[in-house]
Structure 1
Amino acid sequence: MDTQALYDKFRTRLDNGDWKLGQRIPSIRQVVTSEGASHHTVVKLYERLVAEGYIEAQQGRGYFVTRSGSDGSAVMMPFSSSMEMPSDPLFRLLQGHPDAVKLGCGWLPTKWRDTDILTRSIRRTARLERRSLVEYGDIQGYRPLRLQLCQHLNNKIRLHVSPMQILTTLGATQALDLVTRLLIKPGDVVLVDEPGNGNLIKLISMAGGRVIGVPRGLDGPDVAELGRLAEQHRIKAFYCNSTFHNPTGGCVSARVAFDVLRLAIEHDFMIVEDDVYGDFASGPHQSFAELDGLERVIYIGSFSKSLSASLRIGYLACNLNLIAGLLELKLLTSVAVPGFCERFVNTIMTDGSYLKHMQSIQRKLMVQQEVTQQALRELGWRFEIEPVGGMFLWVRHPSMDDLNPFIQRLADRNVLLMPGSSFSVTRGSDECLRVNVSHFSPELVPLFRV
């Protein structure tokens, strides 16, 4: 029996629940005897099942089931009752079955990533930067990469910044964490987009901040509501997506950016500009940082969304008087971003590979937005914002006030979505859901008929 046939047989048994979670499965020697397969074939089979998370090897004891289910869906080993993480929709999405269509995710499909460019650049970087494979990186960030980021920001948002104002991070998540640790103290009032980044809401709450949502509209946050909140509270910071907002896909207009910055100056609060989707915009786009020059704006970007989630390369740009505090926090929490990863990103930015890759991604996203919007509109779905690029579409259906049953029905078909409540501070948003258009396909259209 060849490896694929044996794999299919074991997958069927695991998916049907023949082996239960935590149960020890037959040893390699037993399978060799019972299936008439070679030792090499069975070893490769078990390596693949381990890599996919179906089984795990326990030293001296054998192999045990960590994923099983009669419906073919992923069911992870149980956590302690005190842990709530497995019930989190994002957790379930990230840990979903490898074959699932992750239509609610926040990243590009694997087939959209130019792995040939990545492979060539990795080899070149490893050949030229061997020391980076084993040594700590620069705590502030690899200086040639910070110089490249200065040029990148100038081209992208017309922001003139020095390398001393840039700090590299483990993705945008760490950048948001460092900024929150530095700025937010227990009891501080913090404003965020509503709907917005659910993890950010939790992050600020963990720091003791009191989170209030500012409604998001077609051209950015509701300035009138922002002004009202600023009159009522002493605001410490406003965290805001500027380009292809998560989850609505909208972009901040120049007028709204100016009005928000005016309120920040008048009421003395910081703006934390989360622009992780900015590279999906073709040409320069509006930002708070451009208008402010980083006086009271902290700008955050990332390559995790556009290039590779595995690299975990993000960065922030800010006023020089904040760098020392952020640098100390980074040293205490992670020391440095892996030097090899920083040098790799510098390589593809220097030789023009990144720009070429992003131009291709931008064109694909524009097409996918148009195709997805048209398909859903014909099925009765509605969306107030019609993005012309980016990954996200924030949709609702007039016949359903609560989309959670619909989300569950699609999950039963191995199509995973994120409920609107995952992006809400207080308002629920159960009537909405986020669709990642890059994962939408004609095969999914029948599932969206209501």
Structure 2
Amino acid sequence: MESLEVGRALRPSAATASESYGSPDGYPPLRRSLALRLAERAIHAEPGGVLLTSGANHALDLVIRQFVAPGEPVLVDSPGYYPLFGKLRLAKARILGVRRNPDGPDIAHLDEVARRSGARLFFTQSLAHNPTGCSLTLPVGHRLLQRAAALDLRIVECDPFADVLPAAQARLAALDQLERVIYVGTFAKTLSASLRCGYVAARADVTAALRDLKMVTSVNSSGFVERIVHDLIESGRYRRHLRRLGGRIEAASLQGRAVLAGLGLPVFGEPRGGYYLWCGLPEATDLDVLSRRAAARGILIAPGGLFLPEGPAGPPMMRVNIAHAGDPRFARFMREEVGGAA
């Protein structure tokens, strides 16, 4: 990602920012802009149904505080987003994994686990999934919402790469129109990880409850940051930035897949649009040893066990970030460790 567009926006946004606390819902013009962007994805959300947060992790934290009681069973993707697991453990939830297939959650497994546990909440990432990079298909999304209705299951859908993915891709929030789906977005993956700005789109009663919780726990999100993001969107600079970023993601993904193919490491599914590839390793691979050896060489390996709520299980897997997959130091290290032709 580039810092150029952010740097250009800092001064005018900071100069026009008010020193008051501002609206607890977040900067109103940005909320209106987000409602329009959501409409492009066929998600109808009034500005009153959009709550700004200090990033997606803040949004997830608010949802967990509002809807998860100690000891309550909660469904998550397996593999899935491991920082979410930490938040749920902090809330003393009982975390239950739902197998993730290349085309989305395994519906039969979700049905089985939900019925057995009585879970009423499912956290998932439909598109450019972390860590697999794969995306939900329309038929799986339709079946998932059918089962959710039968099970009275609320779904929290995180969509951090939405702005570099096609607007028409299958999203649960679009299929459901925010009836039982809480939709979480962020600018961290497409603009800057240090500009903590995210949002929740949901039914008005849900966002009202989350707004009250936000006021109690953090008072407000940053009006300065929200003005910067709004300026970037309204000036058109954000769209130009996204076009460049999308091209870079595609090129890096193709290069990463070529490197892994040369190493003889199979990639899970057909990842596209995000930053991650999920690849298999030889059966005899000790992931702890591999990670330590990599760290000694200045390489951070994300072992598959981190992304499984039940802990390391099954064949060894590894998440690869496409931004670094083409680095010759990575390919050289992996060739020494696991062999391959590259």
- Alignment counterpart, residue 115 of structure 2, candidates 226, 231, 247: 231
Deviation at 1:278, TM superposition (A): 2.0
Assess if the C-alpha contact under 8 Å between 1:192 and 1:211 holds in 2: yes
Assess if the C-alpha contact under 8 Å between 2:281 and 2:318 holds in 1: no
Alignment of 1:3-152 (within 5 A): 112-113=1-2, 115-127=3-15, 129-131=16-18, 134-152=19-37
Assess if the C-alpha contact under 8 Å between 2:260 and 2:267 holds in 1: no
Structure 1: gaps spanning 5 or more residues: 1-111
RMSD between aligned residues: 1.4
- Which residue of structure 2 aligns with residue 396 of structure 1? 280
Q: Deviations over 1:66-114 (max 9, x none)?
A: xxxxxxxxxxxxxxxxxxxxxxxxxxxxxxxxxxxxxxxxxxxxxx31x
**Whole-Å Cα distance in 2 between the matches of residues 189 and 324 of structure 1?**
24
**One-letter amino acid of the structure 2 residue matched with residue 448 of structure 1:** M
Assess if the C-alpha contact under 8 Å between 1:137 and 1:338 holds in 2: no
Q: Deviations over 1:152-198 (max 9, x none)?
A: 1111x211110000100010001000001111112221100001111
Deviation at 1:231, TM superposition (A): 2.4
Assess if the C-alpha contact under 8 Å between 2:54 and 2:197 holds in 1: yes
Identity value in percent: 37
**Whole-Å Cα distance in 2 between the matches of residues 232 and 126 of structure 1?**
52
**Whole-Å Cα distance in 1 between the matches of residues 191 and 122 of structure 2?**
27
- TM-score when scaled to structure 1? 0.72
- Alignment counterpart, residue 268 of structure 1, candidates 135, 152, 165: 152
Q: Deviations over 1:352-400 (max 9, x none)?
A: 1111111211111111111111111111111222313210011122253
Q: How many residues align?
A: 334
- TM-score when scaled to structure 2? 0.94
Which structure's CA Rg is the greater one? 1
Deviation at 1:442, TM superposition (A): 4.1
Deviation at 1:230, TM superposition (A): 2.5
Alignment of 1:11-410 (within 5 A): 112-113=1-2, 115-127=3-15, 129-131=16-18, 134-155=19-40, 157-410=41-294
**One-letter amino acid of the structure 2 residue matched with residue 169 of structure 1:** T
SS of residue matched to 2:191 = coil
Assess if the C-alpha contact under 8 Å between 1:195 and 1:247 holds in 2: yes
Assess if the C-alpha contact under 8 Å between 1:165 and 1:323 holds in 2: yes
Deviation at 1:143, TM superposition (A): 0.6
**Whole-Å Cα distance in 1 between the matches of residues 90 and 327 of structure 2?**
41
Structure 2: gaps spanning 5 or more residues: none
**Whole-Å Cα distance in 1 between the matches of residues 47 and 216 of structure 2?**
22
Is the deviation greater in 213-222 or in 404-413?
404-413
Assess if the C-alpha contact under 8 Å between 1:137 and 1:337 holds in 2: no
Query: Is residue 2:329 matched to residue 1:441?
Result: no
SS of residue matched to 2:96 = strand
